[in-house]
Structures are given as structure tokens and as C-alpha cells.
Amino acid sequence: MVWVLSRSYKLPKDEISRTILGLLDAENVIADHSSVDAGLRAMDGDADFADGVIAYEGAWLGGETFVSFDKKAVAAVAKGGQKAKLLR
């Protein structure tokens, strides 16, 4: 959803965040709020929403290092204090 809103609809980050938070307020929506919060924090910084969720979930599941081919994602995760490694 975030990718479609940003790439296809060209919505700014703040509007995407408001849309997600509004969706979470709906009675019939169940979500992992901690993961969504991690994605929103990442999006507020230099990372993608998905990268924030993946880094959070990986750490929550016991992963020690975030690994990606995406230089920007690795830099953003490392900046947030997690170990991160760029694959080449």
C-alpha cells in the first residue's frame, strides 16, 4: 500500500503516514502496530516503510544483522542502531 501510494499516486510521506494511521484506527483492521510504527519511523527518516518493517521484524525474531542489497536501506538501519550488512 505504501509503495502504491508513493510511487503511483505520488503522495507525500506525511499524507501516507496519515492514511496508514487512519486505517489503523478502523474497528475492522487488525495490524501489528509495533511493525507499522517501525515502518513509519523508517519512512520519516531515510528508509522505506518496508525496510523499517523488515528490520524490526527480523530483530524481533532474533536476527542479529539486517542484510540487504540496498545501500540506502543498510545505511538507514545502521543509523538507527541496528547491525546492518550490505551484500554485493
pTM for this prediction: 0.88
The residues pairing with 65 across neighbouring beta strands, listed in sequence order, are 83
pLDDT band, very low/low/confident/very high, at 46 (cuts 50, 70, 90): confident
| 3-state DSSP assignment of residue 64 | coil
pLDDT tens digits for range 64-81: 999 999 999 999 999 989
- CA–CA separation, 88 and 77 (whole Å): 17
First to last CA, the chain: 28
**Single-letter residue type at 53:** V
Residue percentage of the chain with pLDDT more than 90:
94
Provide the residue ranges of all domains of the chain, joining segments of one domain with +: 2-86
- Count other C-beta atoms under 10 Å from residue 46's C-beta: 14
pLDDT band, very low/low/confident/very high, at 2 (cuts 50, 70, 90): very high
- CA–CA separation, 6 and 31 (whole Å): 21
